[in-house]
Amino acid sequence: MIVMSIAGVDPSGGAGVLTDIKAFQAIGVYGCGIVTALTAQNPYKFFSTMPVPEEFIEEQIDSVMDSYDVEFIKTGMLYSPEIIKLVSKKIREYDLKAVVDPVMVATSGGDLTREDIAKAFNKYLIPLSVLTTPNVSEAEKLADFKINTKEDAIEASKMIKCNSIITGGHLDGINTINIDGEISIVKQELIETDNLHGTGCNLSAAITAFLAKNNDLHTSILKALDYVYEGIKNGNYGTLIAKIQLFDHI
């Protein structure tokens, strides 16, 4: 099983394409990596971003697709509306199933993208995707709706133009899943740790890998949440068991 990440490079190895490949390998699928941008950052500080030219991003995608049978991909940092539009075109061209992590801000606080990125996600990429995995801040931008409570997250999920999980790291551990209009809440224990760099990348990559292993979407999300929880708890992303509570299907 071969999957693809289309994302930026974090030289510290904790986020972006490098961590996506690690997650793919840990879960047992082969990962290809398309680089959209270079960053200078570490888990604690963001320095700068240098986008890759669109023509070269397209050539990277075409070169992989020329040799490999890829069905599932994930996208991470795409940087600009032009790159989002290009990736959307390639998804249609190759009939790819995309899990979209709508990366906008680094964990270390740096702005990774241009200001008009949310509109481009909504116009070009989100409607083509099988799932998007925003955190609360990203969901607010995609839905243009302020999220302070579980009920707010549920309403925001209804405004996002594809299936979604709004992750709960900034909402008391409450993850809001909306698949085909059916909403479920998964609450996880929050762990006090500095080991949070790249958790969003790991989640979307893990979902992609589990989908490629023939799990349905809801099961893939639950398994990926377990994977990330154990990674945070143990300081690595190699195990898949977690304490997780599923309640109130709405």
Least confident among 40-44, 190-194, 208-212: 190-194
What mean pLDDT is reported for the chain? Answer: 88
114-151 pLDDT, tens digit each: 558 999 999 999 999 999 999 999 999 999 999 999 99
* 194 pLDDT above the threshold of 80: no
Class level of CATH domain 2-247: alpha beta
Which of 41, 45, 44 has its CA nearest to residue 77?
Answer: 41
Cross-strand partners of 183: 178
Instruction: Look up residue 93 and give its two tokens.
Output: 């061209």
Cross-strand partners of 3: 31
Least confident among 86-100, 127-141, 163-177, 233-247: 233-247
Taking the C-alpha atoms of residue 41 and residue 244, their distance in angstroms, rounded to an integer, is: 32
> In 10 A of CB 135, how many CB atoms?
24
CA atoms within 13 A on the CB side of 52: 22
* 29 pLDDT above the threshold of 60: yes
* Domain regions of the chain by residue span: 2-247
